[in-house]
Structure formats: structure tokens, C-alpha cells
Chains A and B, each alone.
Chain A
Amino acid sequence: MNTHELERLLMQQPVSLLHRLARGRISRHFRSGKRKLVDLLLQASAENRPGLESDLQTLIDERAQRPQPVPVEKTRPPEARSRQAVPATSRPHRTDDHGHHHEPPVSLHEWLSGIGVPPPQPFVPDAWQVEALAKLAETDVVVSVPTGSGKTYVAIEATARAMRENRTVIYTSPLKALSNTKFTEFSRVFGPGQVGILTGDRREHSQAPLLIMTTEILRNLLYDAAGGEIDVRLDTLGLVIMDESQYLADPERGVVWEETLIFCPSQARLLLLSASIGNPQDIADWLTAIRPSPCSLIRHTKRSVPLRAGYLHPNEKLTPLFRTAGIPYGQPHLLHPEAKRLFIEYEEETGPSRSR
């Protein structure tokens, strides 16, 4: 390679590569522009031309091996978008800004249709609920489903099965208030004598087959059991249900969930009920790693009652929030043109000082 060729090759490279090449060869190379950098590199290479050439080659190869970054769709600044959005509403059938949605946005009438009470029908458990209960017969189970999907059904059914086998069940919740609610609810289901509650200093029916407590209380019981002071019938313990397990990530109390799970007796099954979280598989893998029996994950993201999102303007005008009636998962930009227009209007009227 002669100097001329080398120069041309260098000029073809992106500046970032040239800077990497210049590292150690040229001092303060970040100050020079591309042209200057190439000149400096050529000057510096006078002593050790092969070194430069081979380094250049490695860097080019490295670049080629790296996957090309996917060209990111450029998002327009909000001002630009707002200018575009206004005419968009006058021509409702226009393709939207991003061009991959050709259907007209949902109308308010359509969006509001279908409100009502479903006809009473015999309760049929969802597929995931059946699966969770079946899995629980053999393994520990982590359930991660959206709020309101019917986790309580799984808890009640699993409890009933354990009780039939004369096994004790412990149900933990993060808040005392929730413990109380569950105490009332389960007492209704299983009969008052069958459900006990343990709080800091009070015990009601502490010999009942189903015990409700906060996670801290269970942790303390496990401490005492490990310290030799058996306080609870841990040997007959058949099932531990931990509600709201996403509290594992609570900055102050999360550690209590971890301790409880680490020290939970191995003969007891674990049922972890959690709202939707991003990494439920991690929790299942962790439990599989630390407990004698494997742990199954039951996860689904579909809500049992479909959800629609709307936008209510301060002047009481209601519109759908998204172009589609349901939530367009993964596509936050599919805003309904009317909602978009109204929100921009709101932002403009409530003052530019707090524009983002």
C-alpha cells in the first residue's frame, strides 16, 4: 500500500475509527478534524508504517464483524409533531405520522360500546389457573399475572387441597391490612375455625390449618425454628403461599421475602403470587437453584377483562386515548388524533413554562 492508497483508505473510515487508530500515536488527536487527523496519522506512520496498516486492518475487520446498528426511527421533536398533528385531525383518514397504521382511529361510540355486566355463568377456571394447580401437585409454582386475573382462586383451591391432606397452610401478605382482608375472606370460604391470623403479639386460632400472617412474622417463625425453639408445626407444613411476591424488590422489606424463601422448609410447597413483573423467570430459576424441587413459572399477560384507555379533557370532552379500542401493546405512539390534539391544546394553554 503506498501513501496515496493509505490516505484514501483512511479517508473512507469513520472518524471514530480514526480516533481509535490515533490513540497512542498522536497526542491530543481529539482536537483535530478528519482531514487533519489523516494527515497526522500519515506523518506519524512514517516510522512504523506496517504497524499502522495492520492496526487499521484489525479495526476495519472489527467493525465489519459487529452487527450493523438498526437504523433507529428518528423521533421528531414534540414541536414538530404538534404542528403536524393539527391538520391531521381535519383529515381523519390520513395515514398517521409513522405510516404503519392505515386503519381509521376508533370512534368514541365504538370505544364506549360493550359496557355492561356479563351474563351470570358458572365459574370456569382459566387455563392458567388449572395449570398452576396441576403444577403445584409436583413442583413449587411462581405465578405472574396481571392484577385482577384471579390469583385468589388459585390460593383458595391450593389451600383446600392441602387441607384435605391434613397439611398446614401458611398464607403471607405484605400488609397487615391485606392480612385482615384475607382473614375475613378466607374465614367466609373455609369456616371461621379453620383460619387463624398471627400478628406481632396477637394470635387468633393459631392451631387452625390455614394461618394468615405478614411475611415478617413467618420470617421470625423460621428464625426461631432454626434457633431450636420450634414455635409452629413446621413439620406438618404443606404449603406456603406468598401473596404480592413482587415485594421481593421493596427497598426496605424485600430482604424479608428473600430470607423467608431461603429458610422455607423443604417439604413445604411454595406458591408465589405476583403481579406482572418483567423477570418472573429469574425468580423461578432462583427457586429451582436453591430448593430441592424444581419451580414452574405460570405467566400470562392477557387480562381477563379487556382494558381500554381513554382521555378526558378538562372541558369534559372524552376521547379514546389510542387509535385502537384496546391497548396497543408495544406501540405507545399510536395515539388517537383527537386525544393528541386535545392534550397539545392543554399543554399550550396551561403555560409554556412547564413544557417538557
Chain B
Amino acid sequence: MPPSIHPVDLVATLRQRNLTPAIIFLTSRRACDEAMQSFERSQVTLPKTQQEQIARVLTQVTEQFPSIAEHPLIETVQRIGVAAHHAGHLPSWKIAVEELMRTGSLDAVFATTTLAAGVDFPARTVVVTQSSIRKARDFTDLTASEIQQLAGRAGRRGKDLVGFAVITPSPYIDLTVLTKGLTGQPEAIHSQFVISYPMVLNLLKAHPREQIQSILAKSFAQFQLNQRTAVLETKLDSLRAEMEPFGPRVCSDWITQWQVFEQARKRKKPRSPFTRQESPDVAARLHFLTPGRVVGVTRGRGIILRQYRSKGQHAPMVTLLREGGSLNECPASIVTQVFDRTFDCEETSTYPWCTPQALEQLTHHLTDLPPRLPILPILAHQHEETPIDSSIIQTLGDFPCPTCPSRQACQRDFPRASRVRQEIQRHIKSIQALQTSLWHRFQERIDVLEKFGYLHANAQLTADGEWARLIRIDHSLLITELIRAEAFGAIDPPLLAAVMASIAHDDDRPGSFPRGSAGLVTLLFQVRKLAESLTPHEAPPMLRADVAALTERWVSDQTLTWIGLARLTTMAEGDMFRLFARTIEFLSQLKTLKATHPSLAESADHAITAMRRGVLEELP
């Protein structure tokens, strides 16, 4: 069995069952394009009337967006009545496909699941082939909301009596995720409030610092934090109720009192440190029981081969070479005498713990030893008990607890009471944190802006702050810092556009691109250095040199056509369009700085005019 149904067969089945028009959601752009290619090879052709209808709609759309006329897919779409719709396409092409779907001219559209929200056209049937979606480089299961968003495209109001959501398996499918998503409740949404530098500047421009906290309190973020606070507060109430029986006793704060008393009591009897059970003279001898040492045991003599402690035995152990050549593992306490005689012994790490030659020699030495040997005198230390700290004894006497009438109750209740009290304190702290977290985050931003000189110490905007607040896009700190560092002094429009493109672009799809000019490379190097120095305060952009070079080419070479540009790179047309549209958006923010940075604003204006040609002119 194939891992998934062939696209041509899929559409054929849907047609046969009268389930078209259909939107087929596939995992990737590539899957969509490959599905289209498989149709190009197939022999399917539409009846003449439908082909004519498609042609008619396309002509209409082409009037508005001339660039569609050259689209390479037009012929295929017209012949087979199937199209692809994904972010790699130009917006005008996507509008054409949407229009075709709306007029019911197409039988199927292959779309990517990622762009389900952007797919604003309905169909009779929706086909789902996957249960997970790529989000930030990871595949995560589709949520119930997302699945219902996909399925929601099925069934056109006024055109269908029923809509169908058809699941067809592919290697990326978990049926349970989909059935649960179809039958379940959509998820609750949560606030994603982040405090950005432009937000701080703009709020402080319009409101004094004292009012900020009440503005932040109006956010949905704070509303949801308050909901969590409410939950914590009910818990806190029940904890306080639980604390009730542990109110004041003989002393008002008996829990602390008992805690201190317990600590003092425990300190009086310190837990004895773990010591090996060995007598003082054995301990003293241990230092001398080195390999090669001749020792006396109850019967006879021997030579120590190694000394060790094993986990199983509490006592220190030695390996002993006995007279007659036998090797014994025995506790160190077996040694009764330590003689003042050692032999060289070449140690090894495995049995018999010395080289065979050494063992042989030692055996000889042992038999050759004179009957009397000088004994090493060994002094055993007597362990002294550490005396109890007199200050504690003193303090213990000060405690009323031992004789207090409530002592029993205190002792009984202490573990629970102290636990409840800790819980109460923890809850109070969390509630405080929830109530002030937004303001703290805001304050952190204020501090950074003050450090960089956009704000005065009284949180009033400085001259720099006044214009910086007009830059209301991602990476605003990097852009304003670049302006202040005069990196854009008398910059050419192509270079400016290129740098803005590299700051604006946040996609990491690889591809091949034209080369940038030497000036661009140097400038990007400076930008990257500055971005790195700002890392603690703002996440650096990707600063891709290749997309910058592509933008530079488009702006500097006015004779370059869109098709010509597309040939210079493997980047998808839709991605190119988005890159340029976003770059224009960034440039138009620079354009607002006319009053303070006239030459920069002018350069940005030129760049925008230069960029806006060909397909970029078609959409408002």
C-alpha cells in the first residue's frame, strides 16, 4: 500500500463521489507543487465548458493584476481544473485562485496547512492529510481550534447542503488528534502581551509615568493574570481557614517559637557524622598497612599487598600474603603487630595486586625473614567527644517551651501549622508577583531606554526619544541605534533598502542568491556588530546577507524585471514579494523621520519608489 493516496487518484475519487470542489491541505509547499506536477503528467482534461469558465475568470482577474498573464501554471490549471495555493505564490496569483474557487470553477486546490487562516475561500470538501504542523522548526500537533479552522472551510453557505471533512492518512497522521479536534471544544486563548520599546516610548509620550500602571492594568494580560490571582486567593482563603485552629496560643507566634526551640534542641544533639566502626588502634595502624609491609597476625606473619574499603564491609580490609603463599582477604583488625620492615612491591590494579614476579619474590622474602623483627610502636589517639556548645545550652534554658502547658499541642501541630504557614506565604508572594509583573517588565524597559538616552531620569522623552517613538516595528532598538550611530549617514537608497531587508526578513529558508556589493558587505558587518552588542536588550535579527543582496539588486538595477529577478535566486516569488513588502513597510517608518533626519527620510523615500514597480505596484 502506498503511504498516502496519489493526488490524481484523490481528486478522481472526490470527483466521482461528487465531493468537489475541495481544498486539500498538504504538509508543505513542496508537497503542493509536486501534486500539481503529477497532474501535469496525467491525461486528465476538463470538459470544454469548464475550461472556458476558468479562462473567463482568469481574464477578469488579469485586468486588475496584469502579472498573472505570464504565470506558468495557467495552462495546467485551465486543463485540469486544479491549482495550488500557498505562501510561495505571488498574492495576485493567490487572489486569482481564490476567485476561481469562489466562482466554483476549480475542482480542487492544494494548500498548506500552515496558512489555513489565510485561506479565505470555502469549498464543499476539505481533505486533511496530517495531524501536526511545523511551528518554529518543530512539529506540534494541531489544536482543536486549528482543526476546526481547517474543517470550517467545508460547506459553502447557500451553495452546499452538507460539507465534508475527509481524512486521508499520510505518514504524518495521528487519527486520535484529528478525531479529538473535530469533536472537541476549541481551546481558550491566552494573552500574549509583550512590552516593546516603541510601546514604552509612545505610552510615556502621551501619559505621565504614574498613569502607566493603570493603563497596563487595562490589558487582557492583566485581566487573565487577575483570573489566576482570583484562583490563588480562594486557595489562600481556604489555607487561612485551615490555619484557624493554629492561632495564638500561650505565645502569640507559637509556630516561630517552636521552630526556633526545635532548632536549638536539634543543635544540642547534632546528628553524629557517619563514622566507620573501628577502634582507635586499628585506625592508627591503617596508615602503616601499605603494600610490602610485613605484619604480624594472630598466627604467623604476612605481607600486605593492598589496603581497601569495600562497600559490603564496614571495616577496612587488607589483602595479606601469608606464609606458604596463600592470599587472604581479611579485616585490618586481624593485624596485631606492624613490623619495621617493608619490601618493594610492584603493584597492579587486579588480583593478585602485584606482578607475578613480585609475588614470587615476596613469598621468598616471607619465608626467609628472621624470627624476630623490630616492632613499630604505634600511638593510638583516643577520640574526644566534642563538647556541646554552651551557648545553646544557655539558650535552651531561656525557652519557655519545655514547661509550657501548650507544649504537647505545639509539638503535635507544628509540622502541619508550619506547612500551612509556608503555603500561605508562598501564595501571598505569587499574588503580589501576578499583580505587579507587567509593571516590572515595563520598568525594565524604561531602565534600558534611559540607559541608551531615549528617556530622561524622570521618564520624559529625550530629543532622541521623540523621534525614536515613530519607529514602531520589530528590532526598533537596533534601527534607532543605527540611526544614532550615523551608520546611514549619506546612504544610497539601494544600500538602505538592503540593510532594512536583512533586518526585516525572518525566514531561514535556504536558497541561492546573487552576491552583494562590497559596500553592502561592510555595512552589514557593522550592523551585525551593533546587533550583537544589543543582544541583552533585544533579540538580534537574522541579518541575512543574501536577501540583502537580492534587495540591493532590485533597487539599484531599475531595468531588472520581476521575472529577471526571480531567475537570480531560488527564493519563491511569494517569499520575495513578502520580503519586499516588509522592507517597504520598514522604509516607510524611516520616512516618518522627515523632521529630524531629512536626508535619511529622503533616501528611504527614494528606495520605496525604486522598489515599487512590477508586481509590487499591483496591490495597495
Residues of A within 8 A of B (CB): 23-24, 48, 50-51, 54-55, 58, 112, 114-118, 146-150, 174-178, 180-181, 183, 197, 199-202, 204, 216, 219-220, 223, 226-228, 244, 246, 248-252, 254-255, 258-259, 261-262, 275-279, 282-283, 285-286, 289-290, 303-316, 318, 321-322, 327-333, 335, 343, 346, 349-350, 354, 356
Contact = CB atoms under 8 A, between A and B. Distances in A.
A329 B174 CA distance: 19
A284 to B, nearest CB: 11
B408 A147 contact: no
Contacts of A202: 620
A148 B415 contact: no
A76 B5 CA distance: 30
A249 B143 CA distance: 13
B189 A248 contact: yes
**Most-contacted residue by chain B among A115, A183, A219 (CB, 10 A):** A115
9 contacts: A117-B159, A118-B158, A148-B156, A227-B206, A277-B188, A278-B145, A282-B227, A290-B218, A307-B151
B224 interface: yes
A223 B412 contact: no
A201 B591 contact: yes
Contacts of A308: 162-165
9 nearest A-B residue pairs (beta carbon)? A147-B152, A305-B155, A51-B412, A201-B588, A278-B188, A249-B189, A254-B192, A226-B206, A279-B188
Given A147-B153, A258-B193, A278-B185, A309 B161 contact: no
B5 A316 contact: yes
Interface stretch (B42-50, B90-98, B365-373, B546-554): B90-98
Contact of A115 (B9, B162, B185, B224): B162
Contacts of B95: 177, 180-181
Interface in B133-184: 145, 148-149, 151-169, 171, 174-176, 179-180, 182-184
A30 to B, nearest CB: 16
B596 interface: no
B19 interface: yes
B389 interface: no
Given A148-B157, A199-B620, A223-B472, A181 B120 contact: yes
B162 A305 contact: yes
Given A24-B415, A254-B193, A312 B127 contact: yes
Contacts of B182: 309, 321, 327, 332
Interface residues of B, number: 93
Interface centre among B118, B160, B162 (most CB of A within 10 A): B162
Given A255-B196, A332-B182, 14 more contacts: A55-B412, A114-B162, A175-B117, A177-B94, A200-B588, A228-B206, A255-B199, A258-B193, A289-B223, A306-B161, A307-B165, A309-B164, A309-B166, A321-B182
Nearest to B176: A332
* Chain A CB within 10 Å, residue with most, of B2, B95, B160, B196: B160
Contacts of A254: 191-193
A148 B220 CA distance: 27
B130 to A, nearest CB: 13
B483 interface: no
Interface stretch (B10-18, B348-356, B376-384): B10-18
A177 B3 CA distance: 35
A197 B1 contact: no
A350 B4 CA distance: 10
A226 B204 CA distance: 10
B408 A50 contact: yes
B221 interface: yes
Contacts of A313: 5, 168-169
A293 B412 CA distance: 56
B155 A303 contact: yes
Contacts of B190: 249
B205 interface: yes
Contacts of A175: 117-118
B202 interface: yes
B430 interface: no
A350 B3 contact: yes
Given A118-B158, A249-B189, A307 B164 contact: yes
Nearest to B180: A332
Contacts of A112: 17-18
B598 interface: no
A331 B185 CA distance: 11
A47 B113 CA distance: 68
A117 B160 contact: yes
A285 B145 CA distance: 21
B167 A309 contact: yes
Contacts of B221: 258
A350 B465 CA distance: 61
A223 B94 CA distance: 33
B157 A343 contact: no
A350 B2 CA distance: 8
Interface in B196-238: 196, 199, 202, 205-207, 215, 218-221, 223-224, 227
B145 A276 contact: yes
Contacts of B164: 307-310
A282 B206 contact: no
Interface in B549-574: none
Given A177-B91, A304-B157, A307-B155, A200 B584 contact: yes
Interface in B430-470: 469
Nearest to A305: B155
Given A118-B158, A285-B223, A201 B5 contact: no
Nearest to B185: A278
A252 B473 CA distance: 12
A186 to B, nearest CB: 13
Interface string B588-620: 110100000000000000001000000000011
A127 B454 CA distance: 53
A330 B161 contact: no
Contacts of B154: 305, 307
B144 to A, nearest CB: 8
Contacts of B316: none
B165 A312 contact: no
Q: Which of A23, A258, A262 has the most CB of B within 10 A?
A: A258
B581 interface: yes
B171 A258 contact: no
A310 B224 CA distance: 38
A248 B191 contact: yes
B405 interface: no
Contact of A201 (B4, B156, B165, B608): B608
B244 interface: no
A180 B219 CA distance: 29
A354 B171 contact: yes
Given A23-B415, A249-B191, A282-B188, A306 B153 contact: no
B524 to A, nearest CB: 24
Given A275-B145, A311-B166, A321-B179, A349 B186 contact: no
B535 interface: no
B202 A262 contact: no
A278 B219 CA distance: 19
B187 interface: yes
Contacts of B117: 174-175, 244
B167 A310 contact: yes
A246 to B, nearest CB: 6
Nearest to A149: B157
B241 interface: no
B395 interface: no
A354 B175 CA distance: 13
B218 A314 contact: no
Contacts of A246: 145, 189
Contacts of B224: 282
Interface string B407-432: 01001100110000000000000000
A147 B620 contact: no
